A = this chain, B = another copy of it.
């Protein structure tokens, strides 16, 4: 992720002032300067250059996936990422989880009066890099400003459009009893990295977010010809929430084995210190794939070819609903209900 200033050989069309003012959201010349000098500059592409009320674009065919996400993470920058890259990866990953090929993003910014322009530029550059890394184009944008004390630096909404390809349907309704549940990597890095940065906790081993595009591992699973029934990324509420949601949607049950779930020593240590359960901690680069049991080992092998998939494993299976939606066999062999989160564990994690 680049966080450089302007290239010296490429002067700005307008000099940008050092901070965001309310007039940057007023629709006048300062709004236009911000668009020209910052957003259009870093997100440059022919569709965005249309400069009209809506961007026109052509799709190869007529079936698409659409998803939207707002990002309010604090702090704006954390080890391994920032709100800009997170806003791209989060939405790209949601499209991938639906079996879609991510193509286009929109970006809506809500900026607080007084935000340093340099902060905004770092975020925009990071977004541009994440979009390039994910193979998506930012085709439309919007900027609003709110008075000091009525926002929190930057909020970003990204809405994504992807193409649904024939034969690539990832839907909860395709999940069958007997399917295996494959986890793509170890858990809890994003949530604990943000928490550590926010609380300025100083761990002996620094914690880095796992935020990343899941495009390559998902493409590899499809390329291997695996019959994926459903995928879901493990963001807010973590693995436990994702399993509960899928169980509720399908009416089936999930049974998982804690010993199979990878959690790195630094994440485990931070969770123990803060009294958090890594199964509920947010990830931004991990997902589960639900697929026929006889293909599970191959899926794990494919995922393990990626650095982020070193700890990929079969963690459980789908079965007829027993006494609860999700059952967990813990490390000492006892089985307990893995409930939905009832309160909040880590607010403003994405």
Task: Please give the residue numbers on chain A whose beta carbons come within 8 Å of chain B beta carbons, in ascending order.
Answer: 21-23, 25-32, 50-72, 93-95, 97-98, 100, 104, 106-110, 139-142, 144-147, 149-152, 155, 157, 159-162, 164, 169-172, 232-233, 235-238, 241, 245, 248-249, 282, 340-348, 350
Which residues from chain B contact A171 at a C-beta distance below 8 Å?
Answer: 50, 52, 56
Which chain B residues border A139 with CB–CB below 8 Å? 66
Task: Please determine whether B66 and A55 come into contact, CB atoms closer than 8 angstroms.
Answer: yes
Complex: chain B residue closest to A36, CB-CB: B248
Kindly list chain B residues whose C-beta atoms are within 8 Å of the C-beta of A69.
108, 142
Q: Cα distance A32–B151 when bound, in Å?
A: 25
Closest to A97 in B: B53
- Is the pair A64, B59 in contact by a Cβ cutoff of 8 Å? yes
Given contacts A150-B152, A348-B146, contact A140 B54 (CB under 8 A): no
Nearest chain B residue, comparing its CB with the CB of A94: B53
Q: How far is the CA of A141 from the CA of B23 in the complex (A)?
A: 29
Given contacts A27-B241, A70-B108, A70-B142, contact A62 B59 (CB under 8 A): yes
Do B53 and A147 touch (CB < 8 A)? Answer: no
Q: CB-nearest residue of chain B relative to A238? A: B27
| Choice from B25, B29, B233, B238 contacting A340 with Cβ under 8 Å | B29
Q: For A248, what are the chain B residues with a Cβ–Cβ distance below 8 Å?
A: 32
Which residues of B have CB within 8 Å of A342? 23, 28-30
Q: Are A62 and B65 in contact (CB under 8 A)?
A: no
Distance between Cα atoms of A28 and B242 in the complex (Å): 9
* Given known contacts A28-B340, A235-B27, A22 and B70 CB-to-CB distance under 8 angstroms: no
Pairwise interchain contact B98-A54, C-beta atoms closer than 8 A:
yes
Q: What would 13 A/B residue contacts be, using CB atoms closer than 8 Å?
A: A22-B344, A23-B344, A25-B348, A52-B97, A54-B160, A57-B63, A58-B62, A66-B140, A68-B142, A140-B159, A145-B347, A146-B152, A150-B152
Cα distance A170–B317 when bound, in Å? 53
Chain B nearest CB, measured from A114 CB (Å): 14
Find the B residue at minimum CB distance from A233. B53
* Nearest CB of chain B from residue A51's CB, rounded to whole Å: 5
- In the complex, which of the residues B67, B147, B159 contacts A68, with contact meaning CB atoms closer than 8 Å? B159
A237-B26 CB under 8 A given contacts A54-B160, A57-B64, A62-B60: yes
In the complex, how many angstroms separate the beta carbon of A187 from the nearest chain B beta carbon? 14
Partner of A29, one of B21, B238, B341: B341
Shortest Cβ-Cβ A-B pairs, 4 listed: A27-B236, A28-B341, A27-B237, A68-B106
Which residue in B72, B100, B346 is a CB contact (below 8 Å) of A144?
B72
A32 touches B144 (CB 8 A): no
Choice from B141, B233, B344 contacting A26 with Cβ under 8 Å:
B344
Instruction: Check if B28 sits within 8 Å of A172, measured CB to CB.
Output: no
Q: How far is the CB of A237 from chain B (nearest CB, A)?
A: 3
Closest chain B residue to A59, Cβ basis: B62
